[in-house]
Structure 1
Amino acid sequence: MILNLLIIVVSIVAVVYGADKLTEGSVGIAERLGLSQIVIGLTIVAMGTSMPEFCVSLVSALKGTSDLAVGNVVGSNIFNAMLIVGCAALVAPMTILSVTVRKDIPFALVASVMLLLMSMDGDVSRLDAMLLVVMFVLFMYFTLRGAHEGKAEPTASCDDGKKLLPIWKATGFVLFGLAALIFGSNFFVDSATEVARGLGVSDAIIGLTIVAGGTSMPELATSIVAARKGNSGIAIGNVLGSNVFNILFILGATGLITPLRLKGITSVDMTMLIVSMILLWLFSFTKYTIQRWEGAVLVVVFTAYISYLVSMA
């Protein structure tokens, strides 16, 4: 138990440091290539920070614990939309681009509704999984097609006289940051899961809480660091991109390999997934900014949901 707690502390340090380097490198790439921060957040950062969810869900499904795999994705998306956005907004109000409100958030909401509809029969079949993958390809196509929209969006160092980061150095920061995030998160999940199972907690609850929170640590650290540095485009893009990636690609790819049965995921969990995206969308309409009080509301609702899960464990 003591060793696992020590590993958890070291893992958190690695994740936070990796998030700082990932954000710095991502901003550097955005500036060098003339891409908007939201596009970088939706693609490079989102896919990178979603690697822990992918690894955990795939391995869990292959081992026959598909409820842990699906619980990981559902829990991570709720964690992303509520706790991560809420904490980032508490650090600094998050400016949302109009294209994000019109396209990116609705797409993430549609992905959540698709998963809800597919889960009504108790599993995600290979046909369902194929549809999810096709939707992911379409999402990436439309995102990359509009990659140069919003080029006028200010980046962290364009207006302060600081020299642009060399592309090789920015890429190195991104790769190093992703490695630190993934390894740190994996060690965190393994140790936290051992502690939870030692206390008799079920796989579904572990997936929705500890594993979801652990695999979302990269998104949490990256979004908070990005918000603190004034890079709200990367912060919100990271969350939305990760949510889309988690449902469409992770569950899609995993479901193609082995159909996923939803044994421990309840209607409350799926409803909360939809509610989290609707709240995020509604708050984004208020002057295209998520204010601190709105961030506080998201954190409070998330805390109430987790309290409910713990009480039902």
Structure 2
Amino acid sequence: MQMVLQIVLLIAGFVALIKGADLFVDGSSSLAAIFKVPSIIIGLTIVAMGTSAPELAVSTSAAINGSNEIAVSNVVGSNLFNLLMVLGICALIKPLPLDNVIKKRDFPFSIIITIALFVALGVGVLKSTEFATVKMGDNVTTLERWMGIALIAIFVVYIIVLIRSALKNKTEGEAVKQMSPLKSVLFVLIGIALIVAGGHFVVESAKYIAAAFGMSETLIGLTIVAVGTSLPELVTSVVASRKGENGLAVGNVVGSNIFNILLILGVSGTIHPIRVNFASMIDIAILIAVSILVFIFALRNKINRPQGAVMILIYIATMVFAIVR
């Protein structure tokens, strides 16, 4: 009976996260429109943060509660799901073109920051680990508070660059639906409340289910939690792809992955230093390899259907490896 209750709470948590992110984006976008903020800026900041809000809620809740394995594996798992499954499914629907700005700036930047994170954490691994005896669940390094602050600082600089670029190009995005100021504020507050509550339910239920089935928090964070918190990106990108807005689908995924690494791990690590186990280090290395592979696919300006199918198969193989290791 307790297991059924925890599964129901897990699903309810995911629903609260997704609906909360939706309300937060609508309310924030409306407030920005009321104050005459250009819609392109809204898209680059508020909407992008909104689709990453579930990951932020889960990882920060995990960090506060000391569930460090979920904090890291949720981000890595979400980025893997975004790159391989979201883009793979979109490419199957219709070949994915890659915007030149994303190809030259954002995609390489996402790879660079992932490599930088791996190197920074890897220094701790080399100092503290006897590789002959290390096990997957052993903590081998720490995402220190200074690393978290550095990630947030890089995130702020990245946002400034995005906004300056958008203003320079003077490109307007889709018109924002404007509500009354009171309704906008209510949407923001309710959205935040749902995101916070959903994040708490997801973390606590996931921990219970992991313990009941003998699964590690790393595994459940990499799979169930990561997929659940990536649903906003999946829905946004698939809808965009079906409408022929494939450039938006790619931008949403790449932008979300950058937000996940810089903002979510940055905030989580600043709140509380995060112990990182050996399995998560392997997963970050896999994420780097996958990112480079997808970037190579995209260099010809389009991710085609066969490549999309390969990406989905790689994701399945990665999850199988995570389960059996």
TM-score range normalised by the length of the shorter chain:
0.7 to 0.9
Contact 1:188/1:214 (8 A) holds in 2? no
- Backbone CA RMSD of aligned residues: 3.5
Matching residue of 1:305 = 318
Aligned to 1:167: 178
TM-superposed CA distance for 1:102, in Å, is 0.4
Among 142, 145, 149, the alignment partner of 2:161 is 142
Q: TM-score, normalised by structure 1?
A: 0.79
Written as runs of structure 1 = structure 2, the 5 A alignment for 1:37-116 is 42-116=44-118
Residue of 236, 241, 249 corresponding to 1:222: 236
Within 5 A, what are the aligned runs for 1:23-38? none
2:17 touches 2:199 (CA, 8 Å); kept in 1?
yes
1:138-189: per-residue Cα shift (whole Å, max 9, x none)?
110111111146666996xxxxxxxx664339x96x9699679947676566
- Cα distance 1:88–1:71, how it changes in 2: closer, same or farther (>3 A)? same
Identical residues among aligned pairs (%): 39
Structure 2 match to 1:131: 150
Q: Distance in 2 between matches of 1:290 and 1:205?
A: 29
3-state SS of 1:300 partner: helix
Flag the 1:208–1:26 CA change in 2: closer, same or farther, 3 A: same
8 Å Cα contact 1:92/1:292 also seen in 2: yes
Separation in 2, partners of 1:262, 1:47: 25
Cα separation, 2, equivalents of 1:198 and 1:190: 12
- CA distance in 2: counterparts of 1:280 and 1:149, whole angstroms: 29
Q: 1:224 to 1:190 in 2, by over 3 A?
A: farther
Aligned to 1:292: 305
Q: CA deviation at 1:237?
A: 2.1
CA contact 2:21–2:51 (8 Å) conserved in 1: no
Amino acid corresponding to residue 52 of structure 2 in structure 1: S
Distance in 1, Cα, partners of 2:47 & 2:253: 9
Question: d(CA) in 2 for partners of 1:16 and 1:267?
Answer: 28
Q: Secondary structure at the match of 1:146?
A: helix
Offset at residue 94 of structure 1 (A): 2.4
Q: What TM-score does the superposition give when structure 2 sets the normalisation length?
A: 0.76
Q: Deviations over 1:110-151 (max 9, x none)?
A: 110111011111111122222211211111011111114666
Q: Distance in 1 between matches of 2:247 and 2:188?
A: 20
Q: Which range moves more in the overlay, 107-116 or 254-263?
A: 254-263
Separation in structure 1 between the aligned mates of residue 277 and residue 227 of structure 2, nearest angstrom: 20
1:194 is displaced (CA, Å) by 3.7
**Unmatched segments (≥5 aa) in structure 1:** 156-163
Matching residue's letter, 2:58: V
Give the corresponding residue for 2:119: 117
Q: 1:305 to 1:41 in 2, by over 3 A?
A: farther
Q: 1:206-217 alignment to 2 at 5 Å?
A: 206-217=220-231
Alignment deviations for residues 221-267 of structure 1 (CA, whole Å, 9 cap, x no partner): 22212222223233222211211111111111222222111125344
Read off the aligned partner of 1:127 and give its amino acid letter: W
Following superposition, the deviation at residue 274 of structure 1 comes to 0.4
Gaps of 5+ in 2: 125-140
Residue 64 of structure 1: SS of its match in structure 2?
coil
Cα contact 1:185–1:214 (8 A) shared by 2: no
The equivalent residue for 2:291 is 277
User: What is the number of equivalent residue pairs in this alignment?
Assistant: 299
- Answer whether contact 1:53 1:215 (CA < 8 A) is retained: yes
CA separation of 1:4/1:228 partners in 2, compared to 1, >3 Å: closer, same or farther?
farther
